[in-house]
Structure 1
């Protein structure tokens, strides 16, 4: 019986992470191409939220902390539900 003592290095983990992200990006691209009737993204990154809504990073964080919009954290990036954002700002405009 042979015992293997494989050591996983930080570089191995970094490479695995990059490969995993590449696979996720490919899946997202395939999903978008397969659903051409979908015209808007359901989830958008913080940077896109700031640009779309002309908000500071702190204001976007406040939306998340106060749970005014749904969000997901994926590999260190936050994604916000676009429909929630639009509804929130339409509701605020009508007040």
Structure 2
């Protein structure tokens, strides 16, 4: 069994690398923090539509979606385009 010592410098380097990785994942103050994906209930509230209308938008291809398990997600950009009348 080999014993390896961890120095204070090793820990400081690890800390720097972890902070750099976290900064890449988490938006900083002033950056765009808008959600990129919305759940069905959020989309219905935003568009002021019923569950059936939202289902029709999915079925006829007006609104693209991603299903993960039993949950359905919609891209915020697609919702914005729909609100602006840009999606066909």
Give the structure-1-normalised TM-score: 0.56
1 or 2 for the larger relative contact order (CA 8 Å, sep ≥6)? Answer: 2
Query: CA offsets per residue over residues 33-82 of structure 1, 9 Å max, x none?
Result: 71242321111000000111111001111111111122100120110111
The answer as to 2:60 corresponding to 1:66 is: yes
Secondary structure in structure 2 of the residue aligned to 1:91: coil
Higher helix share: 1
Q: List runs of 5+ in structure 1 lacking aligned partners.
A: 1-29
Aligned residue among 22, 30, 52 for 2:46: 52
Q: Report 1:1-95 matches (<5 A).
A: 34-36=26-28, 37-91=31-85
* Alpha-carbon distance between aligned partners in 1 of 2:69 and 2:27, rounded to the nearest angstrom: 24
Larger Rg, first or second structure (1 or 2) = 2
Pairwise CA RMSD of aligned residues? 2.2
Instruction: Specify every segment of 5 or more residues in structure 2 that has no aligned partner in the other structure, as ranges.
Output: 1-21
Aligned residues: 62
The list of structure 1 runs, each at least 4 consecutive aligned residues, that deviate by more than 2 angstroms after superposition, is 35-38
